[in-house]
Structure 1
Amino acid sequence: MSEVIEYKSWVCLICGWIYNEEDGLPEDGIAAGTRFGEIPDDWRCPLCDVGKADFVVVEF
């Protein structure tokens, strides 16, 4: 049986934009499956331009 990879979603606390690890952000050069922690530290929210520190993981 193959291992199930659990991807997380991260929400911007400022504007509510969501980064989904499973989908990535291909238009910004971030491949599908890229973990939030693997995104470069200088990456900015595509909607409101805040840094990674203003994102929190979404718990369902």
Structure 2
Amino acid sequence: MTQQTVKPARWICLECHYIYDPAKGDKTQGIPPGVLFEDLPDTWRCPECKILKCKKGVFKRLDE
């Protein structure tokens, strides 16, 4: 039996199309690689357009 590695989901900002990739994190705000979108602090903002992640469903999960 082989184990499949599940890649963490990436999320896209519907305002500016910035893609948050957990494998990369967000060095502009001190978020290290490996932090899932769901685990980002409430103060995290899109580094491109500065919109809060929880406001009006601005981010959408990318289906791969």
TM over 0.5: yes
- The answer to whether 1:58 aligns with 2:59 is no
**TM-score for the superposition, normalised by structure 1:** 0.84
Cα pair 2:28 2:47 within 8 Å, conserved? no
SS in 1 for 2:15: coil
More strand by share: 1
Q: Which runs of 4+ in 1 moved over 4 A?
A: none
The structure with the largest alpha-carbon Rg is 2
Cα shift at 1:26? 2.7
Q: Mind listing any 5+ residue stretches in structure 2 that lack a counterpart?
A: none
1:33 is matched with which residue?
Answer: 34
The 5 A counterparts of 1:1-60 are 4-53=5-54, 54-60=58-64
**TM-score for the superposition, normalised by structure 2:** 0.79
Cα shift at 1:4? 1.4
Cα shift at 1:5? 3.6
Cα shift at 1:2? 5.5
SS in 1 for 2:11: strand
Q: Number of matched residues? A: 60
SS in 2 for 1:37: helix
Give the Cα separation in 2 of the matches to 1:51 and 1:4.
30
